[in-house]
Structure 1
Amino acid sequence: MTQEQHLPLDNPAWHSLQTIQRYFAQGTETVQRYMSNVLPFMAYNTAEFSGLEGLQPWIDPAGESLFIIGELPALPKNWALESELVCAQMISTNTPATPTHNEEVIQLTEADKKEMVDFVNEGQPGYFKEDTPSLGNYYGIRKNGKLVALAGQRMKLPGYTEVSAVITHPDYRGKGFAQLLTTVVCRDIYAAGDVPFLHVVSNNRTAIGVYEKAGFEIRREISFWKIKAV
């Protein structure tokens, strides 16, 4: 696979906010963000960019950190770069086979939302907000009534849906739960007519191996830039 394939994925948040997830968008014609209760992501139109300043009315006056995926633009004087997280962007190449794992997978609902938010933020703090579950379907595995593994859908743009929040409690790792849930989410995405993609920290070889077994391959490296408006 070459980087020239699937070009909308070079700026996935922008294409999501402009189309399928526009109801979660705030901002101008050239720079937008997800509502603060949904995702800490912002994006801009790389073809017609006029600066991040236009987003200021939608930024918390006390200061707020947001992520830009892809190319980092010039920052206004009152914005600061906090960190860069280099990720492998992976894309599914075919519909995975029906899972043979005997664990029960449940589709999570509004009633599970608080538990989902708490669970994800224990393992991946800062990315999963109170209304992130509104972005797509989420699935989980419970043991003794408690959520021990989870995966779901995040960004959606025409033809593509992102697999995200693939997390297993440390006490239950090594049991195949991550691959099982990834497969379930992917089959759901394919059934809706889209292609699954995901992002994983580029040096996390264990996770990359799990996703490769689930039918993903690396498309490119892409950075998540954490910036703060101050």
Structure 2
Amino acid sequence: MKDQYAELDNPAWNALTSEHQEFAVGGGLAKRYRPDIVSFTAFAEPVAEAAASLDPFMAAGEQFFIIGDLPPLPAGWEVKNDLVCLQMVYNATATIPVSSGIQPLEEKHAQEMYDLVQLVQPGYYLLNTHRMGHYYGIRQEGQLVAIAGERMRTGRFTELSAICTHPGFTGRKYAQQLIAHLVNSNLAAGKIPFLHVSEKNERAIGLYEHMGFTTRRKISFRLTAKLK
């Protein structure tokens, strides 16, 4: 029986060859996101030839993420860290009530979006990552205190990402409201929401399960460097 979620085994590749073609750099065997968008690479198949074909598109000293299966790496590439995540897919069908004042975030909000994500979840979000999809926020007295948005997107799936709340405003269910808003909008568009969360983040996993997400598989985000 065919796995209906099979394209999520290689989410970056399937995004870069569909909804995110405008951000793709590389060739037929391997691609990367433009370095100003997000530090993700992708391979059609995890083979040495594919990784070698991407080497000219990586700068010396650059760090980037390989998601999923690891190909044999070219000389000078080195894995620095392996973040094992749960890949969770939204399997419920009902929409979730939303009560907070949620605002769409645009290009003019790029810096404050970046600053908030870097405060809470540094390392995975760049100044232009918001261009990958729709982002939303909640404000208190004009200050952006919570954010969530869309990252890797294919024809059928949308990854929810950058889900974070300012440390001074936790406990108010802002993240839950933002997730609900994104889930509802994607369901209405015929898209299946999914997300990645560290296998060690038990609190977040519990929230996602409560909201209707189920774990599909474990998947690695390997921080890799091109040393020279």
TM-score by length of 1: 0.94
TM-superposed deviation, 1:57: 2.4
The residue number in structure 2 matching 1:161 is 158
Aligned partner of residue 167 in structure 1, secondary structure: strand
Given the alignment of the two structures, is residue 8 of structure 1 paired with residue 7 of structure 2, yes or no?
A: yes
Deviates more, 1:206-215 or 1:31-40: 206-215
Counterparts of 2:85 and 2:28, CA distance in 1: 27
Cα deviation code 1:72-123 (max 9, x no counterpart): 111112101101000000000124434243x211111111111101111111
Q: Determine the C-alpha separation between the residues in 1 that align with 2:87 and 2:25.
A: 25
- RMSD, matched Cα: 1.7
The answer to whether residue 207 in structure 2 is matched with residue 216 in structure 1 is no
Change (3 A) 1:205 1:47: closer
Contact 2:105/2:135, CA 8 A, preserved across alignment:
yes
Could you tell me which runs of 5 or more consecutive residues in structure 1 were left unpaired when the two chains were aligned.
none
Matched, 1:187 2:184: yes
Comparing 109-118 with 81-90, which one deviates more in the overlay? 109-118
Contact preservation (8 Å) 1:87, 1:223? yes
Is residue 225 of structure 2 the alignment partner of residue 228 of structure 1?
yes
| Partners of 1:100 and 1:28 in 2: CA distance | 42
User: Residue 75 of structure 1 is aligned with which of 73, 76, 90?
Assistant: 73
Letter of the 1:163 partner, please give it.
L
CA distance in 2, matches of 1:229, 1:67: 11
Change (3 A) 1:145 1:223: same
Counterpart CA distance in 1 for 2:145 and 2:102 is 11
The amino acid that maps onto 1:171 is G
Match of 2:30 in 1: 31
Counterpart in the other structure of 1:57: 56
Identify the residue that residue 201 of structure 2 maps to in structure 1: 204
Map 1:90-169 to 2 at 5 A: 90-101=88-99, 103-169=100-166
> Counterparts of 1:140 and 1:29 in 2: how far apart (Å)?
37
SS at structure 2 position matched to 1:114 = helix
Which residue of 1 is the match for residue 87 of structure 2?
Answer: 89
The Cα of 1:29 is off from its aligned counterpart by: 0.7
Larger CA deviation: 43-52 vs 147-156 = 43-52
Return 145-154 or 88-97, whichever deviates more. Answer: 88-97
Structure 1 counterpart SS, 2:49: coil
Contact 1:67–1:224 (CA<8 Å) still a contact in 2? Answer: yes
Give the C-alpha shift of residue 54 in structure 1: 1.5
Could you tell me how far apart the structure 2 residues matched to 1:125 and 1:3 are?
37
* Comparing 130-139 and 48-57, the one that deviates more: 48-57
Aligned partners of 2:2, 2:79: CA distance in 1, in Å? 26
Deviation at 1:51, TM superposition (A): 3.4
Identity rate of aligned residues, in percent?
Answer: 41
SS in 2 for 1:82: strand
Looking at structure 1, the residues matched to 170 and 101 of structure 2 have their Cα atoms a distance apart, in angstroms, of: 16
**How far apart in 1 are the matches of 2:206 and 2:19?**
30
- Aligned equivalents of 1:125 and 1:145: distance in 2? 23
Per-residue CA deviations over 1:40-79 (Å, capped at 9, x if unaligned) read 0001011776231211222123x11110111111111210
Name segments (4+ residues, structure 1) moved above 6 Å: none
